[in-house]
Structure formats: C-alpha cells, structure tokens
Structure 1
Amino acid sequence: MKYLLAVSCAIICFSGYSQLIKPGQWQGEIHYSDASIPFTFEVGYPTDEVPEITLINGKERRVISNSTIEGDSISIPLDPFDVEIRAKFSAMDMRGNYLKHYRNASRSFSAAFGKPRMMKKSVRPSPVIEERWAITFSPSSSGMSRGVGLFKQKGNVVSGTIMTEVSDYRYFEGILDGDSIKLSCFDGAHAFGFYGKWSPDAGWAGMMIYDDGYAEPWTATYDKEAELKDPFEMVEVEPGKEKPYYDLLGAGEGKDAIDPLKYDGQVLIIQLFGTWCPNSHDQTTYLVNWYEKNKARDVAILASSFEANYSQEYGLERLDDYKEMNGIPYDMVLGGRLSKTGAAMPFPFMKRIEAFPTLVILDKQGYVRYVHSYFNGPATGEYYQAFDRRFNEIVDQLLAE
C-alpha cells in the first residue's frame, strides 16, 4: 500500500507538472555580441496559473496574457509581431532566446528577479537635462540624419522618445548616471539602446544600438526650436494627375487582388506598412479606432503589407493573424517583399517611400492628393495629436469637394 501511494504521489507531482514564475518585477536583457539591452517587465497572476507579462517602457504598459508554461520552460509570444521569447526559469532567473521569426533571427535572452532596469554607478551628481534635443545620427558620414529627442527627467530617471524622419523610436526609459545617459526600449519587435556622455564643451555624444552588429554614433545639443520636416510636406503631389496602380498594390497576392471600382466616390486612405513594424502597429491602432468612428461616411482604408520574411504563403498567413489580433475591419492585401522602392512602385511619382508606415490619401475621383511619409506615434504626445487634427482636416476637406 505504501508503495502504491508513493507511485501515485510521483505521478501527481511530476506528470505534466509546471512551475510558476515568481510574481513581481524582473529585469530582462536582450544580448547582442557587443552590448546588452535591459528592460523591465512584471509577472502577475490576475486570474489563474497563466502568468500575465507586462512590458514596461516609460508610460507604456504592454500586457501579454497568452504565455504558456511547460515544466520549467516558458514561451512568451510578443504579438502582434511574429516574435517570441522562449526560456527556462528558476526562482530568481530566466535563460533562453529572443526569436524574430519574421527575420529568422535569434538573440540570447536572460532575466533576473527584483533587479532594476538600470543601476546608477557614479557617485557624481547627474545634470539637469533640457526636454528637447537636436540629435544628429552618424554626424561624420554621408548617411547623416536628424532626430529630435523629447525627454522628461525625474531625479535621475529619464523617459521619452526620439523622433526621426523614419518615424519615432517609441518609448525609452533609463537613467542619468553622473555625466552619462543610459536609455533603452523593448517593445517586442525592437530592443534599442541609447547611450551617451555629456561634455560642457561639445554637448552630448554616444551610440545608438539597434540590433546585433547594427549601431551608429550620435551627437546632440539642447535646442528648444528643434523640428523635423513635416511628414505631410515631404512629397509634393499635383492634384488631379496621379492614380495608383492597384495591381502593384496587391502584387503579393497576384493579379486582380484589388477591385478599384469598390472605392469609387470615396476618400481612400492607403496604408503602406509591415506586420513586423511597431510604428506600423501604432498607426494601425489609430486607423482602426478612426475607421470605427467614421465608417458611415464615404471613406475607405486599404492596407498593403510588405514583409521581411517573404513568401506568399507566409505573407497571407501573417495578414490573417494580424487582422484578427488587431480587430481590423478594413481591406488588407499583400503588397510583396519588404522594400521601400517596391512599396513606391504603385505610385509613379515616387521613387521610394521614406518609411514604413506611409499613408497615401486619395480624393473621391481616385487621384492622389496627399502623402504622409512617416508616423509620429503616441509616444510623441503633441505631435501625435497634431497628426490627428491634420488628418481629420484633410479627410473633411476631401469629403466636402
């Protein structure tokens, strides 16, 4: 009898048994060959034994409620991107991989319970920083580009975003450590690091880390007047002249994927985007909410996707998943492979688009009237609100014509 009880206990204890991850704050890290990007997440159990993972970046809280645990292993799908974290865990740490399926790429991942995002090491006092920076990326190269930093400081904690003319870098969070600034962002699709030092003579200088083996230097000065080009003004369009080639907009699906007659007499908003792109997701969220409020008017949205890990089978599957995850009520088609040149091919007046996402707005006669070349998402605050006002003004104007 004692033997049978022992066997029964063993079956109960070990057959299909899964541990629980310790609830509370964790510091995660994505490891590149020459740098690691720290971020913060919380583990909670609001309803059952399935952990709820919350990614924390500044003001943003991104909740993941569909993780799965088997034994001492966890899989964290970072929807709506085709990305996940797979790791083994113990009471105080995790070890595993950060998998970008859309690029067939893998990076090492680790996490430690109770550890802060970043730790101050210097005993020197941190400077009080200004809220607006004029940033130059790759200042000594032909690929130089501009950015505008929008930051808030509370003690030695800094949060904010960096706007560029290929869209914003979303929500950063980090610290001032003596004369150094250390910021990071992990939104599921991207793990960015923004590191630099202050010099009274030269201002700020440092490195922006995008991915394994992909980084660039930057310099910055405080500038209350720093601005970028207006995304509505970067491409000039002559009214009544240009119509899109719809067969190219849906080229990833083959001939006749789009019936242009469907949009006759409507203001049509065409979104050029990618399911892999966080800025595209920010814009998609905006468009879904906007369309729900405006669908009774003569408006339509057509989204054309350009995918990194391209095949027709993969692209169509990604579109179906993306549409379901985001509750998208408007038309979506597969444009083709990720390419700024390829995305511009349906529009003969453009050689390439500047960024994903890009919006092309058509009047009721089917002519292109406006191109919006990059997106200032919710992390940019007043710039996001300015986009909303201008976008609605344009649609109202075209509907009234």
Structure 2
Amino acid sequence: MLMNKRLQYLFLFSALSVVLSACSVSPTPKSVSGQYRGVIQSPGGELAFPIHLKANDKSLSGFVVNGADTAAFDEVKLKGDSLIMGYSYYDSYLKATVQSDGSLAGQWARRSEGGDYISMDFSAEKGKTYRYETESPESYPFDGEWQATFKEEDGTTFPAHGNFVSQPGGKLYGTFQTETGDYRFLDGVFTDSTFTLSTFDGPHAFLFKGKLQPGGTIEGDFWSKDTYHATWTAQKGENTLRNPLQISAEQAVGNHVTFSFPDLNGDTVSSADPKFVNKPMLVYLFGSWCPNCADEARMLRKLYAQEYRDTELQIVGLAFEYTGNFQKDADVVSRYKKRFNIPWTLLISGTSDKDKAAEQLPFLDQIISYPTSIFVDRNHNIEAIHVGFNGPATGSTYYNEIQRYKAHINAILE
C-alpha cells in the first residue's frame, strides 16, 4: 500500500515536471513572428501602431507601418523571453517581455535632449492588425487642406498646414506641415465628427485628436512623447506658411562661413582645408535623432548621386547631438552615416541646444530648426539659407523642396 502511494506521488511529480517544463519553454523567432497591435501609453491615451515581425532562420526582422511609410527596425533581438526592437541610429528601443499568451509588455526607451532616456509603457497584442477600431461614417468632413494654429502650454503659438485624405471604412491619413518641418506620416481613423491620428517611427511618438465644431472648424489636441502637449484649431484653407528660404534672418545672407570641428575619428576638419578652398559648399546642420533630418539626408544622398557626384560641390554635415560626449555622439552619427551610405564629410559640432549650437556658428544669428541647410559660394559666403525640411509625407511640397535645393546648388556651382 505504501509502495503504491509512493508510485502515485512519483507519477504526479513527473507529470507536474513535464507541465512546468512545457510552460517554461522560451519563445523562438518562429513563435514570436507575426502581426501585433503596438500601443504606447501616451498622456493623451493609446498611441497605437501596427508591428510586423518575421522569422529569418534563427533571427527576427520587423517594421512599423504608418500610412504609406514603413519604419524598419535595424535590430530585433530575442533572448529568452526578452525582446528588443530597435532603431539604433535614433537610440530608440522597444523593450518587452513575451507573455505566455504571446502578447508583449514592456517599455519604449529613447535618448532625449541632455542625454537621458525617456521611458513610456509599451504593450502589443498578437494577431490584431488594426490601428484603431473603425466605424462607417456617413460623411467625409476632414478631407482636404486646413490652416491650423497650435498653442503650446506656455502660450506660444505657431502656424501649421494640415492635409488629410479619407478612405472608406473610416480610415484617415495625412500630415501637418509647419515652418520648420512636417510631422511625417500620420495614420488613423475618423467618424462623422472626430478623428484620431498617430505615428511611431523610432524617435517620433505623436498622437493627434480632432473634433469637428458646429461652424466647420476643428479643435484638437497634440501629444508628443511623455510630456509635450499642445492644443490646436483649424479652418479650411490652402497653405499659407512662409517659404523656408524666407524664415532665417535676411542679414545672415552674405556672411562668411568658417568652421572647425572634429570628424568621426576625432581629427579636426576646417573650412580652410585644401579640399574646401574655392569650392562651393552645402553645409547642413542636423541631428541623428531628427526624422526630418533623416528625410533630408535621404533626399540629398539621391540627389548627389544622380546629379552632383562629378561636380565641385562639397557637402558638409554638422552634427548637433544629445549627449555632448564625443565618443557617444560619434558612434550614433556613424550609424547615421552607414544608414544613408553618406560619402561626404560629417563633423561632431556640439549639442542639440539651439542657443549653444548658434554660439559655435558665428555666421548665423540664430538656429531656428534642425535641419538647416546653408548654400555657400566659392568665396565661402552665404548665398541662401533653407530652414527645416518637408519630407515625402507632404506630397507636392516635398517635390518643391527638391527643386529649391537644386536651384541653389546650381547657383553656387556657377
């Protein structure tokens, strides 16, 4: 009798061990692959975006979808039940634990100005492919162009131009353009009187909400990352924003450009070096952390390869980064260089604080935005200054940007 009980206990222990062993099996790339509805918990509510993960032998790759744009992770790492989906060139990572039901729970961590990381709660449900639940509205009240005014919490206001396109089933796409750049590809849903739009591409975590008012205007809110909030109003109307060549102070045009900063190896490079003497230059101010700067770099790389590779044009990128630590900043700019296969000179020029950056560049009265592109003639005098950059999400405005760059490059090459 005692022996039978021992055998029963042994059997139960063995069965329990098998169950526990099965429960503790680590996720694999194959089991983790699939589609997810990712959510960052914004102060304004759920900031949602679709995530696609794909198993490649023993590794993973993936991307986030924002309207017509896909933001591919440059690294996806699975170790045990820990999953990291990263944009290393932005120092931005989704870090999560794979749950027993296949969902993800963790944090979005991204380096911010000053060098510290911000962190926000992140989760993702597997098998859900929608961004936000949709209805079937009877009207399409948000289509077209809108003149908007944003008001920050300290009372500061700035103009913007909204452009939205509806699709059947309550889908809404579009962007806001400002005088210093655009908010890239916004994706979401609408009803007969409200809309929700969001985007997440590594550095950007934007959430917009709008509500149609009785007079046909829109009132809304805008949240960015963990703390930024602004309200906004809009009325139907065409784009009235200033030309980006007219924003910077007129007196800067004609100023003599000089610079001297370390390259990615720590060697000092100066505008007086032989390679720049009597050569026209495009000197652009950027940050590896800046998506509008990334849009500009992608455009410049293509334009340079197609039309200016065999000319005397010299391009110099002056990087203003978050940490102020040379090696950390050089590392992240090196990833930027590799990402866009950039053949021209990149220099570590200071921190992203605009006032401090302007002190490094006496030929500018102020720095209004990243990116800022300075067209410099053979005598190294400023021919024109282009503030900000409107990328492919702005459609025809993006095409006009390219034409402006070409016109001023051709002018300094003469």
TM > 0.5 between the two? Answer: yes
Query: 37, 50, 55: which is aligned to 2:59?
Result: 50
- Does 1:83 pair with 2:92? yes
Partner Cα separation in structure 1 for residue 145 and residue 161 of structure 2:
7
CA contact (8 A) 1:305 1:336 kept: yes
Partner Cα separation in structure 2 for residue 23 and residue 254 of structure 1:
41
Partner Cα separation in structure 1 for residue 301 and residue 156 of structure 2:
35
Query: 278, 283, 286: which is aligned to 2:296?
Result: 283
Unaligned stretches of 5+ in structure 2?
1-16
Partner Cα separation in structure 2 for residue 118 and residue 239 of structure 1:
47
Q: Which amino acid aligns with 1:257?
A: V
Partner Cα separation in structure 2 for residue 211 and residue 139 of structure 1:
14
Q: Which stretch shifts more, 18-27 or 374-383? A: 18-27
Query: 1:2-57 CA deviation, whole Å, 9 max, x = no partner?
Result: xxxxx9xx999989873534443311011235533111122223x42322212100
Structure 1 residue aligned with 2:12: none
Amino-acid identity (%): 25
- Does 1:175 pair with 2:189? yes
Query: 1:204-227 CA deviation, whole Å, 9 max, x = no partner?
Result: 00100012121110001111x222
Q: Which stretch shifts more, 277-286 or 236-245? A: 236-245
Partner Cα separation in structure 1 for residue 392 and residue 240 of structure 2:
17
Pairwise CA distance, 1:158: 0.7
- Does 1:108 pair with 2:121? yes
Q: How does 1:350-389 map to 2 (within 5 A)?
A: 350-389=364-403
Secondary structure of the corresponding residue to residue 279 of structure 1: helix
Q: Which stretch shifts more, 136-145 or 374-383? A: 136-145
TM superposition score normalised by structure 2:
0.86
Secondary structure of the corresponding residue to residue 319 of structure 2: strand
Q: Which amino acid aligns with 2:332?
A: R
Partner Cα separation in structure 1 for residue 85 and residue 162 of structure 2:
31
Partner Cα separation in structure 1 for residue 78 and residue 154 of structure 2:
47
- Does 1:243 pair with 2:270? no
Q: Which amino acid aligns with 2:385?
A: V
Q: How does 1:136-175 map to 2 (within 5 A)?
A: 136-138=149-151, 142-155=155-168, 156-175=170-189
TM superposition score normalised by structure 1:
0.88
Pairwise CA distance, 1:202: 5.7
- Does 1:310 pair with 2:324? yes
Query: 38, 48, 57: which is aligned to 1:28?
Result: 38
Q: Which amino acid aligns with 1:18?
A: T
- Does 1:38 pair with 2:48? yes
Partner Cα separation in structure 1 for residue 365 and residue 383 of structure 2:
17
Unaligned stretches of 5+ in structure 1?
1-6
Pairwise CA distance, 1:164: 0.6
CA 1:32–1:24 in 2, change beyond 3 Å: closer, same or farther?
same
Q: Which amino acid aligns with 2:244?
A: P
CA contact (8 A) 2:171 2:190 kept: yes
Partner Cα separation in structure 1 for residue 46 and residue 387 of structure 2:
32
- Does 1:258 pair with 2:267? no
Partner Cα separation in structure 2 for residue 180 and residue 11 of structure 1:
50
Computing the radius of gyration from Cα coordinates, the structure with the larger value is 2
CA contact (8 A) 1:147 1:228 kept: yes
CA contact (8 A) 2:252 2:364 kept: no
Pairwise CA distance, 1:254: 8.2
Secondary structure of the corresponding residue to residue 325 of structure 1: helix
Q: Which amino acid aligns with 1:391?
A: Y
Partner Cα separation in structure 2 for residue 384 and residue 17 of structure 1:
43
CA 1:52–1:264 in 2, change beyond 3 Å: closer, same or farther?
same
Partner Cα separation in structure 1 for residue 266 and residue 80 of structure 2:
45
CA 1:254–1:199 in 2, change beyond 3 Å: closer, same or farther?
same
Structure 2 residue aligned with 1:3: none
CA 1:69–1:240 in 2, change beyond 3 Å: closer, same or farther?
closer
CA contact (8 A) 2:358 2:367 kept: yes
